[in-house]
Amino acid sequence: MKYKRLPHSATHQRVVALSRSQKKAIMIVADLIALPGALLSAYMLRLSTWWPVEFLQPAWWLFAVLPILGVFVFARIGLYRAVIRFMGAHAILAITKGVAVLAVALACLAYASNVSPFPRSIPVNFALVALVYVGGTRLLVRQYYQWLVRHFVDKKPVLIYGAGGAGVQLAAALDNGGDYFPVGFIDDDPRLWGEIVRGRPVHRSKDIEALIARFGIRQVLLAIPSHSREAQRSIVERLLQYPVKIQTVPSMAEIVEHKVAVDQLREIQLEDLLGREPVPAIPELLEKSIAGKTVLVTGGGGSIGSEIARQVMAHSPTRLIILEQNEYALYQIAMELEEIRNNNQLHAIEVIPILGSVCDGLLVGKILTNYKVQTVYHAAAYKHVPIIEENIKQGIRNNILGTATLAHLASKVGVERFVLISTDKAVRPTNVMGATKRVAEQVLQSLVVEGTQTRFCMVRFGNVLGSSGSVVPRFRAQVEQGGPVTVTHPEITRYFMTIEEASSLVIQAGSMAKGGEVFVLDMGEPVKIRHLAEKIIVLMGYTPKSEDNPKGDIEIKYTGLRKGEKLYEELLIGSDSEKTSHPKIMKAMEECVEYEKLTESLSVFESLLLTDEEDRDLDTILCQLLGELVSGFSRVQEVESFDKQSLELNETGNSCGFYKELK
């Protein structure tokens, strides 16, 4: 039987419509009746009779004075300012104090006026009965109000998973709100099964299906902030089989630090389903490349670059420079960093936002020289595979030539550390984006082989949840629009990591660099995109439509692999990797193209980008060049007319004369 609501009544409407002053007046009248009633009950209990006239006659005036005195005492202790529907232990304690004062006053008045007969137990009996009458009436009113809200206000029935402290707090908050009505708790602790917590039964997890059918529940609220991520993931995985939307309370750390309240529910994020317990960062590695140094973050307005910038701010650099070519993105991160600096009293840190591109050699040279940059985190890159497949020239200019310009100038001016943010798509790439990132890696490796004081390294990892290139926001938007959710292939698989974890590991890996290493982050187990789409659909309160479930809400539509896309990604070119001092970071030393061949190819790339060659032919030529530099790049098409030696190479290079010097 589903949960039904009673129709609104005139009584309910009148109760809700009462003003605050009217409610206070009702409480005062109730106390004026309750206190003499408590005194009469005290006599009845002591004398075991309904109407002890011989005892009441000498004390008649106490029945008039005591309620007036009681209202005065209760007003002084603030009892009439308390909101009854929120009344808890503090209000009961205040009533106890007030009643105790009245009992003492009653005894003093009786003995001072020689009231006789006046049994000595009357003040004690009065205190006990008055506590029941005054406190009990308020509790009854509170329960009546909650009953009205429960049956006459249109609140959604929900289950709370977790009958601990967070669950009880959440239930209390929801009772006083206007959105949800908790019908019960679910808990995995057998000791709590069948018990009553805050007036609601605690059920086993296997009762969920029956409760959903009985009450028409469409939402389950997780109140288990102290559970490990693995335990939370396991619970969410179990709940995914039911047609309910899942929300959760904030983490215990956020609650303890008073950042958010326990009733501030949020959607379950894909991060919650990764099942990865974050490994504590090594403070020395975080601070080694940042504390007291001038740090440059390129692409600082992007998802990875901006998170690196935030984490850099937390470790006391002298100066933080953000280089970004998107004006709005630069504005956003600059304002956010300014707010972080002001809120955390970090006024000694200088934040410098610079609008520009890493391809601008003159600008990059001035930044590195004028600010004496010591650490570079190079996150600026074009990374959307389908876009770069159609814009090969721009991908090469930004990802390869931009990296080469920045890296050469960093080596020239003596930057201490240079960390390139790379990608798993650089391993045996089938797309131009991955190939350009592999060449960018080789640029750094070649500089190390040739000899440099700068410690160059690369950090390679897969997809990050919440980045601008992540499928998660697109899937959510498609679900909100009613579907279908589009997946390229049912077997396509990717690695995923949170932005915060990836950025922290990038910083730590950079501090371990000796020169030329490729650091690979432990991405955990790969995830099928099809399963990820199904989970997002269920988490948002819908069911996937499939052959097995033709009546589902949201269809998953397979569109076919996009140009340059492959089913599986890899993190290592070779099979060998070494452990580092951090359990989530591995190290590999991979072969690269000879220095002379690479510098020649870079000059050819620059010259080709300045030609008026037809785009189709030029793209083919550029892909052939990439194929010569990148092992395993399978998008190569031969062009008979192409001859590198016939090209008149650009002798001046870009604006900083990089290629001329390199040659």
Q: How far is CA 241 from CA 276, 308, 472, in A?
A: 22, 37, 20
Contact 565, 431 (CB under 8 A): yes
For 344, the token pair is 């955390």
* Contact predicate 133/76, CB 8 Å: no
Indicate the helix (H) or strand (E) that contains 505: helix 499-512
SS3 at position 81:
helix
Q: Say how far apart CA 434 and CA 208 lie, in whole Å.
A: 46
In this structure, how many other beta carbons lie within 10 angstroms of the beta carbon of residue 171? 25
Taking Cα atoms as reference points, which of 267, 277, 322 lies closest to residue 297? 322
User: Which tokens in the block code for residue 209?
Assistant: 């299906």
Token representation of residue 481:
């629009």
Residue 425 designated active-site: yes
Q: How far, in Å, CA of 522 to CA of 190, rounded? A: 37
Q: Look at the alpha carbons of 190, 194, 195, 199 in this order and tell me if their dihedral is positive or negative.
A: positive
Question: Which pairs with CB-CB distance under 8 Å and at least 24 residues apart come from 89-96?
Answer: 91/135, 91/138, 92/135, 95/131, 95/134, 95/135, 95/138, 96/131, 96/135
Distance CA(243)–CA(221), nearest Å, equals 14
Comparing CA positions, the residue from 458, 470, 496, 506 lying closest to residue 307 is 506
Closest CA to 436 of 471, 385, 492: 385
On whether the CB atoms of residues 170 and 185 are closer than 8 A, the answer is no
Catalytic residue chosen out of the listed positions 293, 425, 437, 566: 425
**Is 626 exposed, middle or buried, given 0-12, 13-18 or 19+ CB atoms closer than 10 A?**
buried
Name the region of 514 (left: φ>0; alpha: ψ -120 to 50; beta: rest): alpha
In one letter, which amino acid is 527?
V
Distances in whole angstroms, Cα of residue 43 to Cα of each of 66, 88, 96, 236, 462: 15, 30, 20, 60, 80
**Distant-in-sequence, close-in-space partners of 380: CB < 8 Å, separation ≥ 6:** 298, 299, 302, 305, 323, 324, 325, 357, 358, 398, 402
What lies within 8 Å, CB to CB, of 330 at 6+ separation is 300, 301, 322, 324, 353, 354, 355
Q: How far apart (Å, rounded) are the C-alpha atoms in residues 30 and 137?
A: 8
Place of tokens 């009469």: 40
N- to C-terminal Cα separation, the chain: 82
The catalytic residue positions are 425
